[in-house]
Structures are given as structure tokens and as C-alpha cells.
Amino acid sequence: MMADSKRPVYLQLSDSIMEKIRSGEYHIGEKIMSERKMAEAYGLNRLTVRKAVNNLISKGFLSAAQGKGTYVSSIPHETKKVQFGQNENVSLSATLRQSGFQSSRIVLSFKLKKADETLRGFFDNSPKVYELIRLSKIDGEPYAIQISTFPATLFKEPERFDFGDGSLYTYMDSQGHMPTTIFSEMKAIIIPKQYQEIMDYPGEKLVFYYEYSGYDVNHKMVEFTKAYYKPEYTSFKFKTKR
């Protein structure tokens, strides 16, 4: 069970219990091993076992009956996926909702900073840019980090907008520079060290890395975003024309 030394032990145990349910070792309505026996079997303390069990209870796969034990209440099916590739000029939160997830977002950083040479070239030599870094969660777990930059010459008073609850594109639309054309590039990379702990993702595992360049109706580049997505919840679907 303990194959991934960087993944929290209670999550590894949760995965092990889930696999027993998927494989049919545990059936719906069946009582699972007690916390004491599980702790002995895996060489763990009971607090770790309890955290793993409570994690699955919170997700609806297990249920606890006081004084009787813990029982299987549902069978996990194939993991839902966030679907990309059809309509990239919508907010990530909207895409998550369309994919059937409960989503939330946290602003990690927001600042006005001096544009480097690359960003000045992107944004018609704008000397300063706004940098917005946000963490998106799905069903309460970290899913993606987005680092978005946009030119200070085009956007006014963004600090008055709530980027935790509100969409970046809603703000851009209010300023008359909603991206209408999106160019993107995707590859698989190791997530940068500064984001590994926030994403709860070990450094040796690959994530999907996406770069977005957004252009408004006047063909001005108004957004450059770098984003990191957990691959186990992400899929891409593209159509081609002959």
C-alpha cells in the first residue's frame, strides 16, 4: 500500500480501501475491517486509520453505524473528468461546473509588477502588468493553479474585483477587453517546486501544463496564463475538419 512516500499516508490507505471496494473484496452493505485491526494490519496508528476512513465517509463511499462499525455505502465509478478542448474562452470555474464538479477558488497572490521583456512584447510594451495566481479546487481537493497576467494599460482598478468568487473573464468583459480568441499550448511537465505542496502533488509526477494567450475583439493580446492541472481529473477532446 505505501508505495508513494510523498503522498499522505491516510490518502494511500483511502486508496487501498477504495480498491478493495472496486475489486469486489468489499460489497455494498458489508462491514469493513475495524480501525484497530486495520491499524495492526498496515502498521499504522489508529488516528491515521480514522482519518482515512472519515475521508471516505465524507465522500459517501462508507457510512458509520455507532457501536456497530463502518460499512460500504457506494461503489466508486470511473473518475469524473474536466473536459477541455471545446470552448476555452470560458472561465475554469464554468468548465468545472459543466463537468459535474463542486468547485471553489482561492486567490494566492495578486499584484502589480514590472513587465519583463517577454510580457512587454505580448502586451504592446505595457511597462506594468497585473499578476493573478489562483488555486482551483474540485470537490474540496486541489485541482489546478493558474498564473494569469494582463496589461495595466488596458485594465483599471482590478483590485476592487473579487477574483475569488468572480471570473477573470467577467472582469475583463466589464473593461471592454473580453478575450474572444484563445490560443493555447499543452504539454506534460513536473509541477514547479513552489506549487507542489499547495497542489498536494509529489514532484516526480507529471501534470498537464497549459499556456493561454487571449485576444480581444480588436486582436489585442489581453491575457497570458500559465496553468497546471492534475491529470487524473483532466481530459482533452478536439475536433478536426477535413
Structural domains in the chain plus CATH codes: 9-72 (1.10.10.10), 82-236 (3.40.1410.10)
Angle in degrees, CA 90, 148, 92, rounded to 5: 25
Model confidence at 232, pLDDT cuts 50, 70, 90, reads confident
With bands split at pLDDT 50, 70 and 90, how would you rate the model's confidence at 50?
A: very high
Q: Is 146 helix (H, G, I), strand (E, B) or coil?
A: strand
Distance CA 164, CA 133 (A): 10
In this predicted model, what pLDDT tens digit does every residue of 7-43 receive, in sequence order?
789 999 998 998 888 777 888 889 999 999 999 999 9
Classified as helix, coil or strand, 64 is strand
pTM: 0.63
Rounded mean pLDDT of 73-78? 70
Q: Identify the band that residue 129 occupies on the pLDDT scale cut at 50, 70 and 90.
A: very high
- Averaged pLDDT of the chain: 86
Residues β-bridged to residue 149: 131, 224
Q: What are phi and psi of 181, to 5 degrees?
A: -130, 130
What is the band of 87 on the pLDDT scale with cuts at 50, 70, 90? low
CB proximity list for 89: less than 8 A, separation 6 or greater: 169, 179, 180, 181, 182, 214
Per-residue confidence (pLDDT) for residue 239, from 0 to 100: 52
